[in-house]
Each structure stands twice: as structure tokens, then as C-alpha cells.
Structure 1
């Protein structure tokens, strides 16, 4: 049994809920939020669910000046029979604590964090949309709150969870997206914070993404920060390539985020006896396999988009149209199976699903 008791203050003025066809990604927020405080004297304490509201922070709070913060992203899904379920929340909380360790933030109780998520989702269960492809996005995050203009870990923090009903992350949905390989900017290097889910990683990616957006590219594919040869990940997704019948994905190396969906894809491929290899791979390798007619599919994986086929890769002055710009067989099978498990229409042989109500 948890050492914590969550107090609840209900929102007496519920907001109108958006229609399912009006759901963008991350634009709407539910009636309640979870907050828990931390101090060196008390540890994590005072967990509570309160009406969704602005935060009050000192202008000198460390989070504003030195970026000591981490976050996670997962979803709640409504099944056809009206139940609500989560997908592998234990992996997200495990990764949250890995990010905490890298950013000098005290660890959270992972089991309690999942209980807090379930409690909050249960209270706001009417916000879980049921239209095809929609879900309730869950954003747990931790911010450093001590007012201090000094480069050192904060002595106080807040652990916060907010909820957002969402539609598709990419406008293209399961249709292939266009990705540009980034050669100028660097997102992360081994020994940096690339494997932590921290805000600065994403802020540093904005310029590259902005530069290619006008050319119709949904995201950039990052290369390693030292040689700029080795494939790492897409801004919001891990990346996979099907080359001559084998699925290849960059090996975790300290600068790549260990995606929950990435792990799930690898487990599914092994379950289906499809060859999958985690290794270093260069853009030269990718391009040569394209010229040889061996680059059969490419796709990204992530909580937001689940599986996103890549129909075109632009690298330097070269453009690679993959699988004639169409969704590949493996991409579709992975998407259908993963979403089937998440929405309860497919069997869950891995016990990935956690029931909320």
C-alpha cells in the first residue's frame, strides 16, 4: 500500500468538452490536474488533485533559468465496451526516474505515480474520447521550483500531471510523412542529455524543424553529434528501416531516447519472428541500400504517433522515395497490432495493458 493519500478538490465549473473532430494534439486540457511537492526536509509530500489552473512560481525559480525539468508522455484509451486502459505506464515511470537521475531530480515512487495517473484519469474519464484514432494524452512532468540564480540542483520540486484529449499527432495520420535529414545542427551527444526526456533537448531541435517545415517536411532525422554520419532518431520518434528483409534501428548509445513504443515494436517483431537488429547505421548505408533497391520501408515509432511511415527521406541534395511513398506492410501491421492492443480489439500477449475503469 502506498504511503501517500491523494486529496481531491473537484472542479465546480467544468469546461465544455471539444468535439472529436475538433481535436488537435495538445490543444485542449481537462478539468483537473495532479500536483505533488518535494522538499529536502519532507521528501515527496502533499499529493493532490485540484482543478486545472495556472501555476504560481517565483520569477527566480530554477526551472526558468537552468532548465532543470523532465517529462513523460503516455495515453489512456477507451475500448468499445467503455473501459479505459493505459499502455505500459510502468515503462514510462521507469524512464521518468532515469531522466530524474540524469537531471539531479529526486526519484518518484513509480507505483504511486501510476496510481496517481489512474486516479486522475478516473476523475476526468468523461474526457477520454472514443472516436477512432483519438485518446487521452497524459503528461507527467517535474519542475524545479527553488528561487535561486545559481547553477545547482533545486531543493524543491513539483511533480505535476495534466491530461489532454487528442487526435492524430501528424495530419497525415498513418499515411507516410516526409522527413529531412539534419546536417547542420546537433541535438545531443553521448554523455549529454539525449537519453533523458528533458525540455532542453526539444528546445534545441526547434530551429532545424522550423527550417524544413516550409519545404513540407514533418520532422528532421538527427545524426550523431560528432561525425554527423550515424542515424539517431527523429525529433518525436525513434526510427526503423526495413533493409533487404531485416528491420534495423539505431542502437541505444547514450544520446538516443529509449522509447517505450520502440521497445514494444522490437518485442512485437521478435514475437513474429521477423529479423530485427539494433546497431549503428550510417546515412551512407541507408542511401546505398536505397540505390540497391533494398530499402523497403522506413517508419518512426512514438507514443504520440504510434507508428508513422516515412514516405520520403531528404539527405543533402538527395531525395529517397521509400516504398513508392506508400505505407509498408510491416508499418501497417505494427500500427494495427499496437493500436489494437491499446484499444482492446487485439489480444495482449505481453500484459502491456493496465485497466483504469
Structure 2
């Protein structure tokens, strides 16, 4: 968290301007297409510092045509969710982890520092204002999208002297079109998502836009997502926009849940961290952060040592993997029972919707 000496906006200065024409709330559509009535905006300039936070009616932004976020990708974003529990209480799931990751991404992008706790309180107030948009369902939620962009009105590549931090809210159903089906992945080393010394461990838009070409090639090969590989040994890193987990009997004959380590090319996912902490609390099998190569996966599949493989993320939460297409082979991943996947998903959703009391949630 930023220390008390960090110049920052304050939630106590928040100004709220309510819309005079609330929208009719439609049925929950595709992910990220239905937005609420209000948004949070906070402007910064080198000359004036942070302005007072403002909650205002949802609307378009006005940007200079030379805006540095448009030309040089000086921007970042975050994503987490608000859930309506069985008790009708609204809960945010581990939002301070997102705030801390956002601050780290901002430092990497040369955007100004801010107090994470103050931003979280402003977001909590925004969700409170638009609380009627949070679905009355344990199959849907409200997606929170904080965004931070450089608004430097110059084509010179330099540290921005102007920036805009804003937050929008969107109703969220299932990220994938089908809930139950396991996802299929295309693994080809010719594409690389991130590299050592890059920004793969930050949540920046450039990490995602450049993945589209590979994504559509994956679809041409009959797959839904890309399994991103790295290095000459074809290390498994991420799947689409998800962290990856492998539940297997490892080379030493031990039952293990493994996920790639945070070595600078892996996004430190909040769901990833939660799965690691949750399964370590069980103490039922080894839970490790280790490198996994495609050769190791292929050998384990041939020897029938693979139990499950799944992706994790805020949008999809838990997504079982059913097939991996790699070097001309269609590798079948066991997923019919999906006992671990189902158990993790249930325990996490029970926390998110308040059925299991836990300090991982923040009441709105």
C-alpha cells in the first residue's frame, strides 16, 4: 500500500453526481457488454496533482488525438467482481490484491502513484451507488474494471504529465459460452505471450491485444484458446488469459497440484493465489509453483498420471481443460470427473457469495 507521504486523492473528497435518467436493466448479456449508470473518474496532472474523485453518469471520455495511451500503450487495467450473497449482502472478493497489483502495474507504466486503500473505498462507494445492478443470482455478478491511462497530449515518448484513472462496472454472466464443457487449447511455440524482463506480470492492455492473432489461429485449429509456451523447452505459462494448474502424479510418484512460478512472465492472478492458499490449507497433496514443460505433460498423459488440468481467472474463475493440440497431436486431458476443479470452484463461490464466512471478502 502507498505510504502516508504518497500524494493521492482521498475518498473523503469524493463528489457524487447521480444520473437523471437511469437505464432499464436488461437481461445479462455477453461478458462486458452491459454497463451500469455511473462511473468513477479521477484526473491527475503533474502541475496540480490528483483532483477530487468524481462519481458521475456513465458516458464517453474526451481524449486528445495525441493521447499517449492511444499511441504508446501507456495504460493498464484491473478486474474483480462484486457478488450478491444469499443474505442480499454485496461482497468484493480480495479487492486489495487487485489494488496492489494495479499500483505495481502503474509503476511499470510510469503512471503516478496513488493510495490503494483510498481507491478501493472510492470503488466501494461506486458499487454502492449502482448496487441495484448486482444480479440476484449465484451464477452472475458485477464486474469491476478499474482503468488507468496516460493522457499526455503529445507525440513525444515520455513519462506522462497527465493521466486519468477511471472505473466502470459491467454485469457479468459466464465468460465462456458454455459453463460445463472443458476448454480446448492450441499450443504452438511460434507465439510468445510474455518474456523475461517484459510486462507479462503486469495487467496491461498490450499483453492482450497482441494475443488476438494467435487466438484466431487457435480457432482455425479447432481450439478455443491458446496455451502459451515459453523457451526452447516449451514451458507451459498461461492459457488464454488464465493461469494454468495441473493436478497429477508427478515424476516422484507424488500427488501434486502444480502451477508455473511467478518469474516475471506470469500474471499473479488473484484466483491463482486463492487456489494455492486454499489447497495448501487442506494439506492433502503437494501444492507447488514449478516449471512444467510440454514434454512432461505428454509423458504424464502417456503414463496416465494426469488427473485434471484447469485454468483460473477472475472472469472465468475455474475452467477445466479437455484437449491440447500440440505438434499435430490432439492430447486428451482427463476431465470427466473433475473432482478437484468442482471442489475448488464450490469453496471459492461459497466464500464469494457469503455462504462461508471469510476475511477474503469486503462488504459493500
Report TM bin, short chain: over 0.9
Would the aligned equivalents of 2:225 and 2:239 in 1 still touch at CA under 8 Å? Answer: yes
291, 303, 321: which one aligns with 2:314: 303
1:275 is the counterpart of 2:318: no
Structure 1 SS opposite 2:349: helix
Would the aligned equivalents of 2:84 and 2:138 in 1 still touch at CA under 8 Å? Answer: no
CA distance in 1, matches of 2:48, 2:171: 34
Unpaired runs of at least 5, structure 1: none
Structure 2 SS opposite 1:184: coil
CA distance in 2, matches of 1:220, 1:132: 29
221, 238, 245: which one aligns with 1:233: 238
Would the aligned equivalents of 1:78 and 1:128 in 2 still touch at CA under 8 Å? Answer: yes
1:134 is the counterpart of 2:140: yes
Alignment match, 1:178 = 184
1:100 is the counterpart of 2:106: yes
Would the aligned equivalents of 1:238 and 1:300 in 2 still touch at CA under 8 Å? Answer: yes
1:24 CA displacement: 1.6
Normalised to the residue count of structure 1, the TM-score between the two structures is: 0.95
Structure 1 SS opposite 2:53: strand
Alignment match, 1:10 = 18
CA distance in 1, matches of 2:30, 2:299: 38
Instruction: Give runs of ≥4 in structure 1 deviating > 3 Å.
Output: 1-4
Would the aligned equivalents of 2:138 and 2:353 in 1 still touch at CA under 8 Å? Answer: no
The CA deviation string for residues 87-118 of structure 1, in whole angstroms up to 9 with x for no partner, is 00000000001111111111221001110111
Structure 2 SS opposite 1:122: helix
Structure 1 SS opposite 2:13: coil
CA distance in 2, matches of 1:304, 1:327: 23
Alignment match, 2:354 = 344
Equivalent residues, number: 350
Unpaired runs of at least 5, structure 2: 5-9, 250-254
Please give the residue correspondences for 1:245-260 in structure 2 after superposition, counting only pairs within 5 Å. Answer: 245-260=255-270
CA distance in 1, matches of 2:32, 2:108: 26
1:263 is the counterpart of 2:298: no
Alignment match, 2:88 = 82
The CA deviation string for residues 229-262 of structure 1, in whole angstroms up to 9 with x for no partner, is 1111112110000111211110111111000100
Please give the residue correspondences for 1:1-357 in structure 2 after superposition, counting only pairs within 5 Å. Answer: 2=10, 4-19=12-27, 22-224=28-230, 226-227=231-232, 229-244=234-249, 245-273=255-283, 274-323=285-334, 325-348=335-358, 351-356=359-364
1:4 CA displacement: 4.5
Normalised to the residue count of structure 2, the TM-score between the two structures is: 0.93
CA distance in 2, matches of 1:347, 1:81: 12
| Compared CA separation, residues 116 and 153, structure 1 to 2 (3 A) | same
| Compared CA separation, residues 327 and 70, structure 1 to 2 (3 A) | farther
1:174 CA displacement: 4.3
1:3 CA displacement: 6.5
The CA deviation string for residues 16-47 of structure 1, in whole angstroms up to 9 with x for no partner, is 1112xx42200100000000011112222221
CA distance in 1, matches of 2:25, 2:337: 33
Q: Which range is displaced more, 131-140 or 207-216?
A: 207-216
CA distance in 1, matches of 2:19, 2:289: 47
CA distance in 2, matches of 1:228, 1:192: 19
CA distance in 1, matches of 2:209, 2:233: 20
Would the aligned equivalents of 1:311 and 1:327 in 2 still touch at CA under 8 Å? Answer: no
